[in-house]
């Protein structure tokens, strides 16, 4: 069974044998681990001056960075980031992303589950935009609704383009964050008005077009988790313990409805002792694996500045203990 097939079986909450599937939404430590610059850390100011051959070599090197990390750490899935820039900001960005997907498939076949970003819903606004955004929610809600409808339509158009290239893409990672550590940015009522209808709509569209979906948000998602589950994503990531998300409780409440991904404490990855980190990895495996429908990962990503030895310790525990018998 390929890692891709096992990953899909986990998304469908089906019984699997051997290791519980494992991946990271982002693995930024590529330079230290395999000697390649992570695609998101590259300077694209020269992109339009490159010859077609230079671009192809550049895209192949990015594809190899994804594959080599997946191979080294036994990841079942690869999240391909928009390259050479954010989707929607460069005329040929979708073409470049498609070419990276094609290259990964050419070099690795159907070994890995491939996903790209695809979340049109509004995340927590930035500090620069928060006042304007919150004012609109109360005084001009129709403006936010119109903006979100446009974003959903754009996401659907990109989905239509990807569907034309059969076999390239398996699914979407929807990465709009809704929550702080203490609580969601949106109240239950606001989430039901400004986010849930559009999240449900785009997830249904992806599903109808044969794509799987993973909904990501950090922080304390518990007060709105029921609304997210009602939108029917295939999985929810990252089940953030720093946001007081209890994996065992999330599994009790929703484990029969959605695959759960994550929960290894990112804070302990950086600042905890090795003993604390090992104990947390074991806890995540012990709470997530029973009954299947679980994919092992950190509660965010392998972030810039993380000691690579810490991630490799996590991987060692997964390799030795994350096994269905």
Ordered domains of the chain (ranges, CATH): 3-324 (3.20.20.210)
β 323-324/18-19 pair status: antiparallel
Q: How far apart are CA 134 and CA 296, in angstroms?
A: 35
**Please, which pLDDT band fits residue 46 given cuts at 50, 70 and 90?**
confident
Mean per-residue pLDDT over the chain, rounded: 94
Q: Dihedral sign for Cα 145, 149, 154, 155, please.
A: positive
Rounded-to-integer distance, Cα 59 and Cα 170, Å: 20
- pLDDT tens digits, 229-265: 999 999 999 999 999 999 999 999 999 999 999 999 9
Please tell me the distance from the alpha carbon of residue 124 to that of residue 272, in angstroms, as a whole number. Answer: 28
Chain-centre distance of CA 168, in angstroms? 17
pLDDT at site 50: 87
- Kindly state the percentage of the chain with pLDDT values over 90: 89
Mean pLDDT score, 8-27: 98
Tell me what pLDDT residue 47 has: 78
Residues facing 261 on adjacent strands: 237, 295
Say what the pLDDT of residue 202 is.
97
pLDDT of 86 strictly over 60: no
Burial of 46 (0-12, 13-18, 19+ CB in 10 A): exposed
pTM of the model: 0.96
């Amino acid at each position: 069974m390929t890692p891709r097939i096992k990953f899909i079986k986990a998304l469908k909450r089906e019984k699997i044998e051997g290791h519980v599937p494992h991946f990271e939404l982002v693995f930024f430590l590529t330079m230290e681990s395999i000697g390649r610059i992570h695609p998101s850390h590259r300077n694209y100011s020269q992109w339009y001056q490159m010859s077609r051959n230079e671009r192809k070599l550049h895209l192949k090197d990015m594809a190899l960075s994804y594959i080599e990390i997946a191979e080294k750490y036994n990841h079942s899935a690869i999240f391909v980031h928009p390259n050479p820039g954010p989707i929607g900001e460069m005329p040929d960005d979708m073409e470049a992303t498609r070419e990276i997907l094609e290259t990964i498939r050419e070099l690795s076949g159907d070994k890995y589950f491939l996903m790209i970003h695809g979340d049109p819903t509004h995340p927590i606004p930035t500090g620069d935009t928060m006042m304007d955004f919150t004012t609109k929610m109360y005084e001009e809600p129709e403006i936010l609704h119109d903006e979100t409808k446009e974003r959903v339509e754009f996401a659907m158009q990109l989905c239509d383009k990807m569907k034309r290239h059969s076999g390239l893409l398996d699914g979407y990672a929807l990465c709009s964050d809704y929550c702080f550590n203490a609580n969601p940015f949106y109240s239950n009522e606001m989430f039901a008005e400004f986010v849930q209808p559009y999240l449900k709509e785009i997830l249904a569209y992806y599903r109808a077009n044969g794509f799987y979906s993973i909904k990501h948000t950090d922080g304390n998602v518990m007060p709105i988790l029921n609304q997210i589950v009602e939108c029917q994503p295939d999985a929810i990531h990252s089940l953030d313990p720093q946001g007081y998300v209890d994996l065992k409780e999330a599994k009790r409440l929703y484990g029969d409805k959605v695959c759960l991904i994550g929960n290894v404490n990112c804070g302990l990855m950086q600042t905890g002792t090795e003993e604390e980190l090992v104990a947390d990895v074991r806890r995540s495996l012990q709470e997530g694996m029973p009954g299947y429908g679980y994919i092992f990962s950190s509660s965010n990503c392998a972030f810039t500045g993380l000691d690579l030895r810490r991630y490799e310790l996590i991987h060692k525990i997964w390799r030795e203990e994350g096994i269905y018998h």
